[in-house]
Amino acid sequence: MSEAKMPTLDEISALAKRRGFVFPTSEIYGGLTSSYDYGPMGSELLKNIKDLWWKNFITLRSDMVGIDSQIMLHPQTWVASGHVGSFADPMVEDLITHKRFRADHLIEAFIEGKSEFSQLVVEDLTIDEMASFLSDNKVKSPDGNPLSEPKAFNLLFETQIGSVAGEKAKVYLRGETAQGIFSNFKQVLNSTRLQLPFGIGQVGKSFRNEITTGQFIFRTLEFEQGEIEYFFNPNQSNWEELFEKWQDDMMSFLTDTLGFKSENLRWRRHTDKERSFYSKDTYDIDFNFPFGWKELWGLAYRTDYDLKQHIQHSGEALDYTDPHTGEKIVPHVIEPAVGINRLVLAALINAYWFDEANNRTVLRLNPRLAPYKAAIFPLLKNKPELVAKAKEVFDKLAKKYAVTWDDRGNIGKRYLYQDEIGTPFCLTIDFESLEDEAVTVRNRDTTTQERIKIADLESYLANVLN
Ligand code: GAP
């Protein structure tokens, strides 16, 4: 099997559109900036990743529980968390076209490949330093026009509740799922029998008014996060040990559960200047995207900052009393926070393979991620006895697995389509099947074929999926 070359972002987005993974949102109206919909294959892939995240980090662990909080929380939540005051990116505007850009992104593009800037860490620059850099180096917009001074642009989306006749109140679409966890900390504690250390996880949509263009689903206005707040007593647990354990668990989820190649993953520690003021240590797992190494998953030790902020702003006692010692503390947290859509993008990049020997594009997705685990083909669609037997196979497998049906065109074309959507097995029901109660199973990666009894198909699939 030949080695996979890194695909371009164009190859990934073209395949994603062609095969129903990701479509530009509202394309019939000309699209909506940095917004994408997930088609038949993409929604299965997205769901598989979310389910695996939930199973791995919630279901399989005795020290974790899940919640599902609202997208619109009380607006004070975002004042307490600091988002209203300082959740901002440095924005510049093209003075001619009025298009907006991230100042740090323009600086990154400007210094790329220039050895005199090899020591510059863009993440460390303050807004004033960015302003000086842009003017000293006469950096222009991508359209070659002069730029405005950078200013802090708040990323929270605002909306209102209340009818026209009633009282209107400003609320925010959540900028992260994490705050719904902190604001429910006491309720979770009081309604369960959990003792520290324990974690609360949540998967759901977050919204950010991002100033960005052109990185497909990497950075979007609306996206899904899988976030965990792992609460502990700093007098009883060593944060460095917990942190390292989380690093291992995150990496093993990516490599062992999702099947990502480890050479495309690396840890990057935030510099002191870059790290949020409340965090004692922050690391990211970066993924090797076609546009460079970029953040996939963050891990931060946020201390007791968030709970203390909510105590101060709500007046509620969000503390924990140790049932054995009676010690009363405000727990500290370690936060692993991942973007599910970035995992989807990374999964597509990781799996993309042009098989030169067979002149075909294949998504070598881990079978757990594949939208369909098997495709069922009656050899000919105008032979009722073949169709009936194939339907029997479909109905049997569909009870346990996501499977698909294709009776269109020749078998070769059906294989090529399934290869591009990553279906690990194609099952053809032919005339012999009516005699021997077996089907031809063709393997996506090797293209080898073997004959398997219909009665053994479920265990055959179970072997590769568990
Ligand atoms: N609660 C911490 C937090 O939200 P973050 O680094 O801002 O931290 C966590 O976000 C993860 O969410 C990121 O590592 C990234 O995978 C994902 N993410 C953030 N902004 C995103 C966006 N605009 N589009 C897609 N994913 C995003």
* 312-341 pLDDT per residue, tens: 999 999 999 999 999 999 999 999 999 999
Reported as half-sphere exposure (CB side, CA atoms, 13 A), residue 255 has a value of 13
150 contacts 134 by C-beta, under 8 angstroms: yes
Testing ligand 1's pocket by substitution, the residue of 53, 225, 228, 287 carrying the most ligand atoms inside 8 A of its CB is: 225
What per-residue string of b and e applies to 174-189 under the rule 16 or more CB within 10 Å gives b? bbbbbbbbbbbbbebb
Instruction: List residues near ligand 1 (CB under 6 A).
Output: 176, 178, 208, 210, 219-220, 223, 225, 227, 295-298, 335, 337-339, 341-342
Decide if domain 88-154 falls under CATH 3.30.40.230: yes
**Residue ID of nearest Cα to ligand 1 atom 16:** 339
**Residue ID of nearest Cα to ligand 1 atom 19:** 339
The two counts, helices (H) then strands (E), for the chain are 15, 23
Q: According to the model, what pLDDT value does residue 96 have?
A: 97
Q: Write out the residue limits of the CATH 3.30.930.10 domain(s) in the chain.
A: 9-84+156-351
The single-letter DSSP state of residue 114 is -
Class of domain 9-84+156-351: alpha beta
**Residue ID of nearest Cα to ligand 1 atom 12:** 339
Homologous superfamily in CATH for domain 372-465: Anticodon-binding domain (3.40.50.800)
Confidence band of 3 (pLDDT split at 50, 70, 90) = confident
* Residue 57 CB neighbour total at 10 angstroms: 22
Confidence band of 366 (pLDDT split at 50, 70, 90) = very high
**Rounded to the nearest 5°, which phi and psi values hold at 128?**
-65, -40
Q: Ligand 1 mean position to 340 CA, how many Å? A: 9
**Residue ID of nearest Cα to ligand 1 atom 15:** 339
Residue 346 in this model has a pLDDT that exceeds 90: yes
Q: Write out the residue limits of the CATH 3.40.50.800 domain(s) in the chain.
A: 372-465
Q: Write out the residue limits of the CATH 3.30.40.230 domain(s) in the chain.
A: 88-154
Average pLDDT over residues 61-79: 98
Report which of 80, 199, 95, 184 is spatially closest to residue 139, judged by C-alpha positions.
95
**Rounded to the nearest 5°, which phi and psi values hold at 252?**
-70, -30
Q: Does the model's pTM come out above 0.85?
A: yes
Q: Ligand 1 mean position to 218 CA, how many Å? A: 10
The single-letter DSSP state of residue 79 is H
* Residue 58 CB neighbour total at 10 angstroms: 19
Q: According to the model, what pLDDT value does residue 163 have?
A: 65
Residue 166 in this model has a pLDDT that exceeds 80: no
- Please state, rounded to an integer, the average pLDDT across all residues of the chain: 96
Q: Ligand 1 mean position to 367 CA, how many Å? A: 26
Q: Ligand 1 mean position to 225 CA, how many Å? A: 7
The residue whose two tokens read 């968390």 is: 81
